[in-house]
Amino acid sequence: MRVVKLEEELVPRGLQEAFDRLRARRWDVAERGPAERLERLEKLKALILGRRDALAEALHADFRKPGAEVEATEVLPVLQELEHVRKHLKGWMKARKVATPLMLAGTSSHVRAEPRGTVLVMAPWNYPFNLLVSPLVAAVAAGNTVMCKPSEKTPRTTRFLADLIRDAFPEDEVVLVEGGAEVGEALLRLPFDHFFFTGGPRVGRRVMEAAARHLAGVTLELGGKSPAVVDVTADIDAAAERIAWGKYLNGGQTCIAPDHVWVHASREEALLAALKASLERFYGRSEEARRASPDFCRMVDDGAFARVRGLLDRTVAAGARVVAGGGVDAETRFIAPTVLADVAPDAPIMEEEIFGPVLPVLRYESLDEVVSHVRAGGKPLALYVFGKDDATVERLLRQTSAGGSCVNTVVLHNANPHLPFGGVGASGLGAYHGETGFRTFSHERAVLRQGRTSLAHLLFPPYTDKARRLARLASRLFE
């Protein structure tokens, strides 16, 4: 049986058996060529195409995700990843020749990508299909056996994924494990060859500790407070529209959403007006219309609703001004798409990643303020710059650090499979997508082959005067 649903008393044995099946099969899977690996992925693709309506229904049931967003942010990225792998896998798998230095004359060297072995993919709830299947595609392309753990917060989508994995792969190649935090903790006790985790920094630290215990590889896709900076030279209407789209997508529950906006003081009121106009254009002019909009997501559960509502209420109480939105409904877990102005850098909503549909706008006079604030926080997963002045854009890119960046747009760097996607520091470790994902789930093995001719014997012991002179001569080549 492909899907292992673990009751508490069965966790140790059931999980161990599933892991052992994968580990026993890993060498057979590792030896497959590109055609065999792609055959598995083509079957997965066909199943996705045949079940996309069921996926949309599951995501709508879990947190009212609009069908258009399901197609654009869940299905499309996975299909693009599958197509990119189909086109390039054969080339990625070829051994890569490297140059030979003079002192190693007579040898040849290459680097070959070999599978890591049996890997774990732990996915979050906010994009539960995309953020499980995309790394799964990379892991399978690299020749690994895979255990997947989706979030328990999206039960209908988890059930969809369970059926999909069961029908797409043999049970000893890919397995999906259902369960909550106790199952996640049990997974971390198993000696996987690589741990791939998408989620928050608290659990990310535990995953990294587990990888260290097993001396395994680890990829952490975390989050953080990703800023958008609107320079005095920016196209305000375009900036507002793109920021609003990226912020309120998925109900604000996107790891690379613009968390907050820094805007030059001279453009603040213009930006606020343009943000309000964009919000009304997207979701409706009135609070009632926005609440009834089929295009706006809900918070995933009561805990997420309460946390974001608390941040909003405390920030308004501290003096922030509600420019648009602000309404909430606990019964349906609705938080209106909201814009806040007069937000201080130390306001409650600036203390943690918002992960909800509330956009604080902060004004600045000097770019030094922005640079200092970004540097003082944890390195964000993304940083967005809006402006026409190349020197300002370059300064922000050069004087800050972030997992990725866009200039005059948001989020779209995530859609290019030729770009690595990942964090840095507090926002993560490692990257994936496209060839980067293939490399993440591979070990690059160095191979040197000795030919008939070799100079190395000149340096073998016993170390005569001649050997010492040769060694010194060789060193002088690099002085």
Both tokens of 334, joined, read: 């609705």
Instruction: Please confirm, yes or no, whether 255 is among the known catalytic residues.
Output: yes
Residue in 406, 345, 409, 417 with CA at minimum distance from that of residue 381: 406
* Helix/strand/coil for 430: coil
> Among the options 81, 173, 221, 268, which is catalytic?
221
Q: Choose, from 148, 178, 255, 406, the residue flagged as catalytic.
A: 255
**Beta strand 334-335 pairing with 328-329:** antiparallel
Angle between helices 76-93 and 130-141 (to 10 degrees): 10
Cα 176 to Cα 163: distance, rounded to the nearest angstrom: 9
246, two tokens: 């990226």
Q: Is 268 noted as a catalytic residue in this protein?
A: no
Over its C-alpha atoms, the chain yields an Rg (Å, rounded) of 26
H helices within 199-235, ranges in order?
Answer: 201-214
User: b/e per residue, 234-244, with b = 16+ CB within 10 A?
Assistant: bebeebbbbbb
Total number of residues shown for the chain:
479
Angstrom distance (rounded) from CA 102 to CA 185: 51
The CB density around residue 401, as the number of other CB atoms within 10 Å, is 15
d(CA 134, CA 440): 13
Partnered with residue 445 across adjacent β-strands are 112
The whole-angstrom separation of Cα 427 and Cα 402 is: 8
Please identify every residue annotated as catalytic: 221, 255
